[in-house]
Structure 1
């Protein structure tokens, strides 16, 4: 026990602030969550098999010579509708635990909600191959639902942790750094899945990514804490800094959650609209881009995974650079918080939607299609310093609850889009996929307009309770002075 305390004490006294350690571990939490989630999108091409659309599509792209993109005989006899149900089933469980996760993380702290959620997702990821092979699609769907139940606490718990640890002037970068783990996880999950499947078979992706998540769970549980005051090895300097920066917006003793004010908040519903639009586009890409590459461009499984990951790599780079730009604009006071959130969210909505439409009309020109996907979808990364950190602006005290509401409702699109794609692309033709992308275009732009007219970057009055007000040091001193004067007069 002494030795364990010594190494953790040394870690706490290093030059790396503990809030950055927390943020980095939060980043790896999302990376693990997304690798476990999206690896199926590549694996299912090999599990269910793929067939050429040339018989049903007169405009079908030719199969490149020596590309390996010919028909793939899958292990399971699943049609496109069944594949759509399997890809969407994760979200059936995912949306259920969002709100409970947000409430419990506010009450108990985000550490254990986050860690146990990732651990349970890892366990069900490891048993996925057995469920698919011996239980059929029904059991496989059930395991995916259980994975979603575990992972549903991830974003609410992380939002609670960030609200307790990251000051507002650092949230653009560090909030983006953490949430941009969705892109890194997607890049790793899609690129590495193709390589693993070609080398070891489709089962390997579940075993590999599930094991990585268990390693993360052990490390995170040992070195991270829900609040700065609970951390036994944080420096006094950093603790004082966080108190000075956060005490005005984060209460130690929270009043009851102001449900009425939250659910009647116009900025919150604007935030929900923006999340729905983003998720509609993002989940369509994450779950179905490998299928598009297989159906339309006839990519081999290895090339499919690598090429499908490129847009998310660019999205990650854009996320980080735009996060730094957002922080700079705020520190220089060139733009208000509200305008920063609106502008960056609009960029992330309009340009990716245009890029998808353009790619669908680019025909069989590989370079043009991949370039359009990469450049325009990459701009979706400005979403993170846009509306993704907006819940922290509205209510640091109830950030976990807000994230649960916003992300939970947005995740309904994860149920709808894979199934809708499966129904629309039954013949796997380019025209059917173009219809999918036009729907994405309409949803993303309509929801962004709602956000532009309703968004706010200001802390809302209900952050301190239904009828609360900020508890500031000056207020406490004035109240104490008043009490002292009343005592003296008596």
Structure 2
């Protein structure tokens, strides 16, 4: 606890920092842009089925009818759930390299997407198998990217670089929802899978040609940029061959991220999986009839991720706030904000326009977490960031399984009061996670994460 108490009083980066190399045309920002398009395509591949499925199957009117409480007149939400990543993905990234793991993760997802029309023609079992295999490819991508940034992202540029690369997921959802609908309307549903799958394969070849795991092995990086990156990370990376599992699992700052990630995902699932159900069952509003409203929350989140990344690193670079203070503040905003609007959603009556506004604002504010707990793995243990992300995301998948079950058991009669209880629970969990992270998070490289247990202030 002595370390935790000391770090909050420590100014950011007392040591002289190497002169930064311009971002324009730099290898590290080229990596961020390629990663951006990779995650763009990954999420485009992920959401295309929800759009194409309308044309893939014949509507079953007997199944389509719902016995719900018609609290509001019908107006007429399929929003995708967050990514699922597991510990093996992070471990593989540390062993075979993030470049290969991320590249083949997207490539495999693209190939199986190209096979989706064939699988659909063969039968529903084949279709489910293909989509499950796609999920395996997607599952390794985020820890692979975290692993790469541990070698590529200078400490004072982490928020910017990671926010650029991961924001591709949000924009991919924004673009692919309406674009897939247009392709289905003017062409055929099969081309949704052929077009996005082919783009994913094309991206793979650019990725393998232009990217390397480390600055040392990059073919065209300038000497100045290589030295800038390596010198900024020289005291933060470990040369240990084995993974220090015991100190990792005993690390309080890591568990702060676990709790925050678990809590955030509970509210995320509630907002983007259960709240649309509330809007449909109670408000009688279906966002599928308006692609713009379906994509609006993701667009707001995309903007927030990009802007918050710039702001976070600006505050750290100008020594306005320490790293740990930035991570805590951005996490508090990104978790308490959605919790407030989640509770408010239970008191909007039949105002479906306000419901859409609350979803959009809540999802937008959640973008602050990308520069909060979401990249804190790189602050506390750059060398093991991929493994740490795998650990935290493994716990973060639990809300996706437990949350909907609890909500269903609490809403037998689909009354407003029952749904308010669901929202209160989710908001309380989010609030707890934000407070826990604020109390126990760290902004420094932990002693177990560097060679010789050298503590480096970040």
Distance 1:17 1:61 in 2: 55
Match of 2:17 in 1: none
Contact 2:174–2:299 under 8 Å retained in 1: yes
Contact 1:61–1:297 under 8 Å retained in 2: yes
1:37 corresponds, among 24, 46, 51, to: 46
- How many residue pairs match? The answer is 430
Contact 1:180–1:384 under 8 Å retained in 2: no
Deviation digits for residues 339-371 of structure 1 (CA, Å, limit 9, x no counterpart): 111111011111112212323432332332222
> Normalising by the residue count of structure 2, what TM-score does the alignment of the two structures yield?
0.83
Match of 1:101 in 2: 89
* 1:167 partnered with 2:154: yes
Q: CA distance change for structure 1 residues 256 and 436 in 2, over 3 Å: closer, same or farther?
A: same
2:140 corresponds, among 134, 141, 153, to: 153
1:344-359 matches, within 5 Å, as 344-359=330-345
Deviation at 1:134, TM superposition (A): 3.8
> Normalising by the residue count of structure 1, what TM-score does the alignment of the two structures yield?
0.78
Deviation at 1:329, TM superposition (A): 1.6
1:389-468 matches, within 5 Å, as 389-417=375-403, 434=420, 436-464=422-450, 468=453
2:299 corresponds, among 290, 310, 313, to: 313
1:232 corresponds, among 206, 219, 222, to: 219
* 1:217 partnered with 2:226: no
* 1:469 partnered with 2:454: yes
| Deviates most, 425-434 or 17-26 | 425-434
Deviation at 1:284, TM superposition (A): 4.1
**Secondary structure at the residue paired with 1:101?**
helix
Match of 2:68 in 1: 56
What root-mean-square deviation, in Å, do the aligned CA atoms of Structure 1 and Structure 2 show?
Answer: 3.2
Deviation at 1:393, TM superposition (A): 0.1
Deviation digits for residues 27-66 of structure 1 (CA, Å, limit 9, x no counterpart): 122222222223444555775768465x531313333xxx
Contact 1:311–1:378 under 8 Å retained in 2: yes
Match of 1:111 in 2: 99
Deviation at 1:162, TM superposition (A): 0.9
Highest CA radius of gyration, 1 or 2? Answer: 1
**Secondary structure at the residue paired with 1:370?**
helix
Contact 1:41–1:288 under 8 Å retained in 2: no
* 1:299 partnered with 2:311: no
Q: CA distance change for structure 1 residues 318 and 232 in 2, over 3 Å: closer, same or farther?
A: same
Match of 1:135 in 2: 123
Deviation at 1:259, TM superposition (A): 0.5
Deviation at 1:435, TM superposition (A): 5.1
Distance 2:426 2:115 in 1: 34
* Structure 2 residues without counterparts, runs of 5 or longer: 1-22
